[in-house]
Amino acid sequence: MIKIGIIGGSGLDNPDILKEAQEIPAQTPFGLPSSVLTCGAIGGVDVAIIARHGKDHSIYPTGVNFRANIWALKEHGCTHILASTAVGSLREEIAPGHLVFPNQFIDHTRKRETTFFDEKEVVHTSLADPFCQNLIDLLAASAEAIELPFHKNRTVITIEGPRFSTKAESHMFRSWNADVINMSTVPEVVLAREKKMHYAAVAMSTDYDCWHEEEEPVTWEMIVKVMKKNADNVIRLFLDVIPKIREYKDMCVK
The set of catalytic residues is 207, 209
C-alpha dist (Å) from residue 72 to 5, 118, 230? 10, 18, 27
**Does residue 209 come out as left (phi exceeding 0), alpha (psi in the -120 to 50 range) or beta?**
left
In this structure, are residues 152 and 173 in contact, taking their beta carbons and an 8 Å threshold? no
| Beta-carbon contacts of residue 164 (< 8 Å; ≥ 6 apart) | 88, 209, 210, 217, 218
Residue 59: CB atoms within 10 A of its CB come to 16
Residue 166: is it exposed, middle or buried by C-beta count within 10 angstroms (0-12/13-18/19+)?
A: exposed
